[in-house]
Amino acid sequence: MTLSFFPTPYPDETHFSLYARYHYWARNRSYGSTAYDLFGNEKVAILQNIPARLEKLCSKLPEKSYITPDVIISEHSFFRLFRPFLSHKKASKAIEGMKSTMSGLNSVSADYPVFYDYLCFCEQCLNEDEKIYGETYWHRSHQVIGVRICHKHKTWLYESGILNPSQQLKRTFSLPWKGMDGQRFAAESAGDYEKNVEISEYVNWILNNELPHIDMHELRNRYLYYLKKMDLTYFSGMVRGKEFQEKFTVFYGDNMLKALNHEVDSKNRGNWLNILLQKGKRGGHPLSNILLLVFLNIDREEFWRSEMPVELPFGNGPWPCLNPTAVHYRQPVITTCVVTKNSHKKLPIGKFCCDKCGYAYARTGPDHAEEDQYRYSQVVSHGSLWEKRLLSLAAQGLSFREIGRQLKVDSKGVKHHLSRLKCPTKGCKRKREIEKKRKIYRNALTKAIRENPGIGRWKLHNSMHHVYYWLDRHDDVWLKKNLPSPRVRKYHGKQVDWVQRDKILAVSVIMAGQNIRALPGRPIWIRQETIAKAVKDSTFRRYLDFLPLTKEALAKATESVHDWRLRRATYKECGEEHSNRSVSSKVIGKVTL
């Protein structure tokens, strides 16, 4: 059945407000009557967030109506707010679901609860709507969670007492009216007003522009690109998490983020700000993305419509020649750069070659500062100009260190390149001198050994120490091979008679134990240290393996801790004159304790 009329949509009007105006002008008494008129089913749930069954609705509109499912989706629903942060597959499924049934939209509405519990309005907008159109309606840009200021009048919005249709238990159609009451939003702290204005303007801009589809991976790369410009990423491209979260929190303030239900818990690695920048298929909550975009302070058209700038690891060139012998030293004359990849560290390697002088060098990137272009990791080729200068400086008789200072290489590098170019140097002359001196000193040492048979190494060293030292430094292998054999010293000390010593010590140990036990006064604990002190020999304990009798006597003479305590307790109770009496149970109890 074709509808006899249908309201003309107003600018920024929600699809739910459009249905509510039809309900009002059709003078329907119940929600079910309007639902049946529009969709042919009295039990259809008409929600605020995303429309559905639009093909069914448009098929009932008058023939000359310009309203199509695409018009309602783009201009009177909130789908444009979701679209930039959905994957292409999910967005296509959502559009298909809005045109037919609610299937395919449950995941979208569950992932993005982006509406207030109550419908919101702007007082000035209601007055203007009444004046221009003769009636009022619900504005789409006022219903998004996080929008608390009217983007047009820059005044705080009001939260009405009318529940959002998705929160209603009993389905009804309601319209705002001029002079209606509500709870006004307010700033949590100084400076929040400007941030709220930016958020509302950004939401309104997204709702009124058909933004190009950006892949989730590409969207993340754009975020990282602009964070890098703010020096909030490491050289590897990873975000400086702690510093970034601190600046983000300071930018909005804790109170405002708490009011928007977007607090950043820096102690939790899984907070929403970290998840938003992680690799994955989810685009995150629309308000989360808008908060980040406002923080980055990027031109909207630049971010969404311009091509992502391609960052070359070594810049766009030209690059400087680093040949210190060329007149164009450090001047940008190299026009080509061959980039390869380090298979181990996964870092780019750039190779630069100067066509004018043949100097070529390589550098591990990427470059992070302007000074990096004058750095190199390896010289691939010095070129003919550099080599000619090297030969010229060598011919002047300069030292290796001075040549290296002028040519930007170390002294070892100078020697290597002179050897490679087969250039005679003063190093060759020194080598010949060493060979000559080696021959003389070898003959001198051989002659001394031959003329003094049986001479020892020490006497040989003292008689010709200069020759000995020189050969030890420059020809140590030959010296060790031709020196006289070292003499083996004979031991002339007396042998220890362990048997005799064992007998004497065994008797001394037994006597010492008896003497210590018989000492008057407080009993002394008889142990190895006490006996060693008594026999005046503290070393015999180290050789007990050679003194079996002493070892046995020592075991008998010493007493355990328990025996010593028992003897001490007896002394305390009975005194010295009764030390041989039997021990009472009282004493045994003390010892046990």
pLDDT tens figures, 36-48 = 889 888 888 777 6
Coil/strand/helix, residue 129: helix
- Phi, psi dihedrals of residue 88, rounded to the nearest 5°: -60, -40
Alpha carbon distance 202, 291 (integer Å): 9
Q: What is the pTM of this model?
A: 0.59
Give residue 492's pLDDT.
55
SS (H, E, C) 300-315: HHHHHHCCCCCCCCCC
Contact 267, 249 (CB under 8 A): no
> Where along the chain do its domains lie?
15-194, 214-305, 319-417, 427-482, 498-592
50 token code pair = 């995303």
Give, for 146, the enclosing helix (H) or strand (E).
none
- State in Å, rounded, how far the first CA of the chain is from the last one: 107
Residue whose token pair is 């007396």: 494
| One-letter amino acid of 452 | N
Alpha carbon distance 564, 523 (integer Å): 8
| One-letter amino acid of 328 | H
Nearest Cα to 441, choosing from 460, 461, 477, 467? 467
- Phi, psi dihedrals of residue 560, rounded to the nearest 5°: -75, 170
41 token code pair = 């089913």
Contact 273, 266 (CB under 8 A): no
Nearest Cα to 262, choosing from 275, 273, 277, 251? 273
Give residue 578's pLDDT.
47
pLDDT tens figures, 364-387 = 988 888 889 999 999 999 999 999
DSSP 338: E
Contact 101, 52 (CB under 8 A): yes
Alpha carbon distance 122, 116 (integer Å): 15
Coil/strand/helix, residue 75: helix
Nearest Cα to 41, choosing from 101, 94, 87? 101
Contact 188, 256 (CB under 8 A): yes
Coil/strand/helix, residue 412: helix
DSSP 464: T
Low-confidence ranges of the chain (pLDDT < 50): 103-104, 107, 110, 578, 580, 593
Separate counts of helices (H) and strands (E) for the chain: 27, 9
Helices (H), 253-285: 254-259, 272-276
Contact 184, 196 (CB under 8 A): no
Alpha carbon distance 356, 362 (integer Å): 17
Alpha carbon distance 159, 122 (integer Å): 9
* Strand pairing class (158-163; 118-121): antiparallel
Give residue 247's pLDDT.
93
Give residue 424's pLDDT.
67
**Bond into 520 cis (ω within 30):** no
Alpha carbon distance 109, 100 (integer Å): 16
